[in-house]
Amino acid sequence: MTAENQSLSASGEVPTVIVRDSTGRQLLCFLEQLIPLDGQDYALLTPVDTPVCLFRLSDDDEPELIETLEATEPVLSVADVVLQEHDLTLVRSAVSLTVSGELDEPDPEALDDDEDADDDSETYELLVSFMADDQEYGLYIPLDPFFVVARIQGDNAVVVEGEEFDRVQPRIEAELDERESDS
């Protein structure tokens, strides 16, 4: 952790870290937890901007999550325009698409209604829907906490992906559980 981040922590502000993925895209995140494992510092981060997920919508079926997107996909250009109408900006970040700008807080009563849904399913709130190439799409905000795991390398943070994520994720969860039970 840099001296700047340490001084921010001491002043009561949450430090931020820029994390990069394997393609070089960046995401500005708040540093939630620092977890040392095997001589390496890992960080549990939350995005500063609001993460969003793109779904393909249809009348017949459940919305279909689009998991892989190229930053140049035409549908994202349409999403850009729609979001600009709401004074929001779509950011093609590392890990997830994000939206920057002032968003309304989710309606707590609507969330209570969703609790009747299957507990294993993630819940989302529709931000905007739009048409692109005769297909309806929606950008949804995940309501479950959205965490990013990164490896700290000097003043940089790199998204932990693939086999490394599979290896360290259970150990990070165990460390966090232990910290929680100690407090």
Helix (H, G, I), strand (E, B) or coil at 12: coil
Report yes or no: 151 and 35 within 8 Å, Cβ to Cβ: no
Q: Which residue type is seen at 88?
A: L
The pTM (predicted TM-score) of the whole model is: 0.77
The pairing of strands 40-47 and 50-57 is unpaired
CA–CA distance, 54 with 140 (Å, rounded to integer) = 6
Residue 72: per-residue pLDDT? 65
Helix (H, G, I), strand (E, B) or coil at 42: strand
CA–CA distance, 83 with 127 (Å, rounded to integer) = 9
Phi, psi for 115 (deg, rounded to 5): -65, -20
Give the DSSP per-residue string, 87-135: T-EEEE-SSSEEEES--PPP-HHHHHHHTTS-TTS--EEEEEEEEETTE
CA–CA distance, 152 with 41 (Å, rounded to integer) = 5
Report yes or no: 21 and 95 within 8 Å, Cβ to Cβ: yes
CA-based R_g, the chain, Å: 18
Over its length of 183 residues, how does the chain's per-residue pLDDT go in tens digits? Answer: 443 343 344 456 879 999 999 888 999 999 999 999 989 999 999 999 999 999 999 887 788 888 877 766 889 999 999 999 999 999 988 888 999 998 876 554 554 444 444 444 568 999 999 999 889 999 999 998 889 999 998 878 999 999 999 999 999 999 888 888 887
Q: What is the largest CA-CA distance in the chain?
A: 54
Report yes or no: 24 and 31 within 8 Å, Cβ to Cβ: no
